[in-house]
Structure 1
Amino acid sequence: MGDWTFGRLDAARVWRGLADAPVNYSLDEVCRPAWNIDTYRTVLPRERPGPPEPHGCWEHACRLVRDYEFSPPEIVRALYDPTAPLLGRDMLLEARFHGMHFYCGVRVTDVVDETRAGTDRVWGWAYETLEGHLERGKVTYEVVKKQDTGEVLFVVSCHSQGAPSLDRITSLGWRLFGRRTQLRFYRRCSDRLQHFVRAALVGEHAPPGPPPMVEDLVCAPSDAKVHRLDALALHRVAPGSVTRRPAGPP
């Protein structure tokens, strides 16, 4: 299947080009109302009070979050090197948006592995948008076990805005549909993680099957389907760049 995973794009070449791309915003820019600042919490199956249980909800959820399996493939897919350390990992995201596929880079800039307030066991990671991304901002995905009660949560926190350098057509599409698609993405992430965790707890392999590959890179999530009709979509690489790169071969 190879390159068909990402339509007609030479995705591995575009992914390699992310290495020199900088983060496209600074934290001191982030404030309402120009930025969306959101937090979403999803309740996962409860464990017994105490540390995370071996092969329990928290561990399964951490695995799924680590591998980006919670992402709904009809909205966002990711390409990354599974052998690279999580911290500093570059990911090429394919945002699928009303017959348009946008290819945007992010970088993992934080990994969380700590106990907060003496009771909350937290693991997760965050990525920030790179130059050329459709958006600017940061998303943090965390799995939290409240060890005093056994409650397990999936927490997504983010700050974001559309990139100001989008061309007129892309900017109009973002204003009309971007926020709606963003909120649908977070709802679908929650639904998928709940579903896969419940399946894993009863011994099912969730999600089923090995992930698609592009050369030595993993395409996540593993249940992303390959459709040749994807090649008919409008493909845009780095839509937030002042000078956008072509989608075809070099």
Structure 2
Amino acid sequence: MPKAAPLYELQKKRLDAYMDAGYNFDPDKAADYTPDAGWRVDDYETELPTEAPGPAEAQGSWAAAREVLRNYTFPPPNLITGIFLPDQPLDQRVMVLRGRFLLFTFWFGVRIGAVTDETRTLADGSQEQVWGYNYRTLEGHFERGQIDFSVHKNLTTGRVWFHIHAYSQTGRISNPFYWLGFRLFGRMLQKRFATQSMKRLREQVEEMLRKGWTSPAAQQAPPVQSVSAQEEAREQLREST
């Protein structure tokens, strides 16, 4: 049987459509996006295998997590799959997210807003090595906001962990069916995405360490399924592309 084409080739038209799309919120006003202003602000964290004190090891837990983050293999594919050009620089990456909700498949666009690669001094005087990035929602997304993914190592203790920080708000949804669905299930899906992403990243890091630091294949995910044949799904697809 012929080998299936990679997702970024199958979804080239959608990727092209989002390359010049604008954000559906103003990232410069991030300080105003608080719970009092009607935004959800979330933080999640999970422990990863520890390392010896000192800078991150070349083939250790921190470096393995960095590769999992870079390849975006940690989100649960039954909820979200990221599709992007593998040779595009990370700080310029645009992704099409294939989301699954109820009986439908949806397509959303996001863009990497910033990449972090630094050593920070903590309040107790110790230092931590941090790598990560954020992505921001583009026009047509059902939500608006930003999510940050980062891997940290305390250089004094050797502790390594993965952190998710996000602020979000339901975006403009013209179809009342989808609006109601996201009102009822959107928060549950957000939490499931975060908890399953942490679990999958931890499992992939542990597997890489067991195998001697073997990186997962970029964009490892099931083949793309056709969008729902129902008219409502087709209507949403037209609105978001």
Shared fold, TM over 0.5? yes
User: How many positions carry a matched residue from both structures?
Assistant: 228
2:119 aligns with one of 115, 118, 126 = 115
Pair 1:40-2:44 in alignment: yes
Aligned with 1:85 (options 84, 89, 95): 89
Q: Tell me the secondary structure at the aligned position of residue 244 of structure 1.
A: helix
How far apart are residue 31 of structure 1 and its match? 2.2
CA separation of 1:194/1:99 partners in 2, compared to 1, >3 Å: closer, same or farther? same
The CA distance in 2 between the partners of 1:238 and 1:88, in whole Å, is: 30
The reply on whether 1:226 has 2:185 as its aligned counterpart is no
Pick the aligned partner of 2:167 from 159, 176, 182: 159
Q: Deviations over 1:220-249 (max 9, x none)?
A: 3x0x22375x5546585895x9x7157xxx
The answer to whether residue 179 in structure 2 is matched with residue 171 in structure 1 is yes
> Bigger CA drift: 53-62 or 10-19?
10-19
Alpha-carbon spacing, 1:200–1:24, altered in 2? closer, same or farther (3 Å): same
Following superposition, the deviation at residue 162 of structure 1 comes to 1.0
- Counterpart position of 2:33: 30
SS of the residue corresponding to residue 148 of structure 2 reads strand
- Alpha-carbon displacement from aligned partner over 1:93-151 (angstroms, at most 9, x marks no partner): 01111111110000001000001116110000110000111110000100000111100
**Share of identical aligned residues, percent?**
33
Letter in 1 for 2:60: G
Other-structure match for 2:133 = 125
Q: Which runs of 5+ in 1 are unaligned?
A: 212-219
Q: Conserved in 2, the CA contact under 8 Å of 1:71 and 1:189?
A: yes
Amino acid at match of 1:192: R
Partner secondary structure for residue 87 of structure 1:
helix
Quick one: structure 1 residues 89 and 109, their matched pair in 2 at CA, closer, same or farther if it must change by over 3 Å?
same
Which letter does structure 2 place at the counterpart of 1:225? P
TM-score (norm 1): 0.83
Cα 1:83/1:189, change in 2 over 3 Å = same
Gaps of 5+ in 2: none
Deviation at 1:164, TM superposition (A): 2.5
Assess if the C-alpha contact under 8 Å between 1:101 and 1:233 holds in 2: no
TM-score (ref. length: structure 2) = 0.86
